[in-house]
Structure 1
Amino acid sequence: MKKIDCKISDAEWIVMKVLWEEAPLTAAKIIEALSSNKEWSPKTIHSLISRLVKKGVLGVNKETPQYEFYPLVDKRDVILEETRSFIQKVYDGSLQLMLANFIKDEKISEKEIEELQRLLDKK
């Protein structure tokens, strides 16, 4: 999979989640998957799919009777890029500041603290 060079909007992210779960899918299958939890029209979903193809994050198999869409970017890579972008934008790139703010302001269970400590020790 290739590295992502563009931003994915919140709406596009929802479409990508469907395709990261199961791909390839036709537009009809994507619409069906999204119909239960979104009030988007099929036209809106088609527009989101088209934008994702133009951005180069979705590929299209045009050799099937109905076009099939599949991710060209790995979900983990996109999550890491989004995280880096968020930390840079909100915390001027300081992971330490982000973690400090999160730990001070959030209720964290003992289990979560142990997991964070395990991750830090491993790093």
Structure 2
Amino acid sequence: MSISKAEWEIMRVIWTKEETTSSQILAILGEKNDWTASTIKTLLKRLVDKGFLSRQKLGKGFLYSSLLSEQEAMNQQADDLFSKFCQRKHVAILKHLLKEVPMTDSDIDDLQALLLSKREETVDEVPCNCIPGQCRCKEHLEL
């Protein structure tokens, strides 16, 4: 399930603090985003409804905590993004990201090790996963 940019900003605060209230989020994000307490409470309710947050009663308000780790949420968002593109184009997207993302030597070592282990799972040709008429792969060109 995807979340909006505003909801993502809320989640980043919650992952940092582990547990927080709407007042604490307002103190951190309110001025930057010109958000009111009502806006933040609406965003928090959406995140609870989507299953990203839990809330427990705390006095007159609520204490919010994440139901997913930041890594799990990032993986879900990446999976959601990649599901929108033909599988045959995934490597082009990865190449673009590798060119654009700043990396340490350690990051590069980790990626090289991952690629080497991935070699054991290679396929002769990446299959197209598109509905016919959605892409220009050879099996769909007749349409």
Q: Which amino acid aligns with 1:19?
A: I
2:19, 2:103 → 1: CA distance? Answer: 39
43, 46, 50: which one pairs with 1:51?
46
Q: Is the 8 A contact 1:84 1:93 kept in 2?
A: no
2:104, 2:7 → 1: CA distance? Answer: 35
Structure 2 residue 40 is matched with structure 1 residue 11: no
TM-score for both structures, normalised by structure 1: 0.75
The residue correspondences of 1:21-36 to structure 2 (distance < 5 A) are: 21-36=16-31
Q: Which amino acid aligns with 1:27?
A: S
Give the fraction of aligned pairs with identical amino acids, expressed as a percent.
27
1:49, 1:99 → 2: CA distance? Answer: 32
2:105, 2:46 → 1: CA distance? Answer: 41
What secondary structure is seen at the aligned counterpart in 2 of 1:37? helix
What secondary structure is seen at the aligned counterpart in 2 of 1:67? strand
- Give every structure 1 segment of 4 or more consecutive aligned residues whose post-TM-superposition deviation is greater than 6 Å: 107-110
1:107, 1:75 → 2: CA distance? Answer: 19
Structure 2 residue 28 is matched with structure 1 residue 37: no
What secondary structure is seen at the aligned counterpart in 1 of 2:32? coil
Paired position in structure 2 for 1:93: 87
Tell me, which stretches of 5 or more residues in structure 2 are unaligned? 119-143
1:67, 1:18 → 2: CA distance? Answer: 15
Once the two structures are TM-superposed, the CA of residue 101 in structure 1 deviates from its matched residue by: 4.1
Structure number with larger C-alpha Rg: 2
Greater RCO (Cα-Cα under 8 Å, separation 6 or more): 1
| 1:36-80 deviations in Å (ceiling 9; x for gaps) | 422112211111011111112111111x21311111122111111
Tell me, which stretches of 5 or more residues in structure 1 are unaligned? 1-5
2:103, 2:54 → 1: CA distance? Answer: 41
2:113, 2:25 → 1: CA distance? Answer: 39
TM-score for both structures, normalised by structure 2: 0.66
